[in-house]
Each structure stands twice: as C-alpha cells, then as structure tokens.
Amino acid sequence: AKMLFRAFVRGRSKTNGDSGSFDATAILGGANRRISVDDFSGGTATAMLGGCEIDLRDAGSGGPPAIIDCFAFWGGVEIKVPQDWDVQVRGTAILGAFEDNTITVDGDTPKVLEVRGMAIMGGVDVKN
C-alpha cells in the first residue's frame, strides 16, 4: 500500500510555475501554487482532508479561456484571480460550498476562467 501511495503522489505532484497549467494535490496536508505566466490554460486541484491554495493574480490575461477542475472532500480549494478576469463557477456542492466571491472590473477583453468540479463536505472559493 505504501508503494501505491508513493506512486500516486509522485505522479500527481508535477507542477511547473513556468508552464501554462498546474496540478495540485493535497491529502492530509497543503499544496500552494503561484502561477505567473501570460497564457494560463488551466489545471486541477484536489484536496482531501487538506487544502490547496492557487494564486493566479500574477498571471496574464492572454490566451483562450482557462478551465480549473476542482475536487474537495473534507478539505478546501482557494483560488485567487486578477480583478479583470471573468470567472464562471460551475461546481456542485454536497454538504459544502462552491463560491464565487470575486469583484470584476470591466476590461477590454477579459480572460475567461471556468471553475468546475465538486465539493463534498468541503469548499471551493474563488476570490480576488
């Protein structure tokens, strides 16, 4: 069982702040990602009895719409986005919360970010 767990964590822990995507997994712990690229494309965040903090405030507004898939089970995912992004939250919450707490400032061509997934007895929060 220990080898299986290591393989799972090793396979899921790849992240690169210089690429346009991320993969964050927190099981009984935390995962912090700060993305600062011009063409952010999306990523995945999984929190089980732990938390993921994703900071996109330094990411540029270029490129096509981005998609972040989230799964929170007895844990939480917090996503911080720039104010000029158009955020669309399409998640399902079961005894939890899937919230959009962003304040949007009108821009010329805002970056579109779609946050989707599921929160079971946990939460996903998108804010500035």
Q: Give tens-digit pLDDT for 30-61.
A: 999 999 998 899 999 999 999 999 999 999 87
Is pLDDT larger for residue 56 or for residue 62? Answer: 56
- What is this structure's pTM? 0.83
Assess contact for 9 and 29: CB atoms under 8 A. no
Burial class for 99, CB neighbours closer than 10 Å (0-12, 13-18, 19+): middle
Return the pLDDT at 108.
72
